[in-house]
Amino acid sequence: MGKHDDFSGREYLYEYPPYSPQDLRRREGTLAAARLMINAALTAPFVGGVSHVEAELVYGQAEQEEIARKMEELAYTRKSWEEVYKYEAVMVREADAIIFLGSRMAGDNAADASCGICGGRPDCSYFYENKKTSYGLVDSTDRRSETTIKGPLCSIRVNDLGFAVGSALWMATRLLVDARPFASVGMAGQLLGYCRYSGFVVGVPVATLAKNPFVDINPDYHLINMGKVMENARKQYITPRTVTTFDYRKWIPKREEGKENGQD
């Protein structure tokens, strides 16, 4: 028998319940799309034609839960972040996969274009004066920082990363998958070691669900979301069953003969 003489099969795909066999088969399509999105990001235009964008693809219930919890941890470090980070943590849980895109050069290898886009003088001095340098190179071994992102960053490199993210999202629209970039997801991922060589990271959750999980968000979304609603529905359904202690064979009401068949 040849290699492909018995090439046949049958697969059932459906998005519910989460992480069921039919849902996992559906998610495989998302992963294929996410990989093509990464390809698009890596082929985006970069200043000087030098690649400095790295990517990681992360998926799985435990992995996404870890990212979401780190976002919730960050939510309480700043009042202005609290609601947004908690809401977007739910989106990470509901996504099929997370793409991380980062710039390896943003924090320690300026483009040296003397542009002043970073807000300093147009000679890159602001970048180098705020870095530890030796032989004209940035020594990035001291990774201590009082801020979530250790700056300053080369804005040209960050702009390049924006082109990469845009290319990934362009591919998502062509493949008809839902995707949205989040700085909050990127910061959480960076703290967890994703795209570890990058000075700045953006997270892009991806999903192929009937309802885009990244838009149309309820107020108090960290409390009013599908996961919480399902948990409470189960509680409301099961609790009355445990309260009723009678044997079901004794308390089921009997229908009068004739009415059981729909006769008056």
- pTM metric for this prediction: 0.90
Distance in angstroms (rounded) separating the CA atoms of residues 159 and 103: 10
259 contacts: CB under 8 Å, gap ≥ 6: none
What is the reported pLDDT for 224? 93
What is the reported pLDDT for 245? 66
Q: Which amino acid, one-letter code, is at 153?
A: L
| Domain chopping of the chain, boundaries | 21-245
Q: How many other CB atoms are there within 10 angstroms of residue 29's CB atom?
A: 14
Peptide bond into 17 cis (omega under 30): yes
Distance in angstroms (rounded) separating the CA atoms of residues 27 and 61: 12
The number of residues in the chain equals: 264
Given strand 200-207, what is the order of strands in its sheet? 53-58, 97-103, 200-207, 178-179
Q: What is the pLDDT along the chain (264 residues), one digit of tens a residue?
A: 577 788 889 999 999 999 999 999 999 999 999 999 999 999 999 998 999 999 999 999 999 999 999 999 999 999 999 999 999 999 999 999 999 999 999 999 999 988 888 888 888 889 999 999 999 899 999 999 999 899 999 999 999 999 999 999 999 999 999 999 999 999 999 999 999 999 999 999 999 999 999 999 999 999 999 999 999 999 988 888 777 667 777 777 677 776 656 565
Classify domain 21-245 by CATH architecture: 3-Layer(aba) Sandwich (3.40)
Q: What is the DSSP letter of 102?
A: E
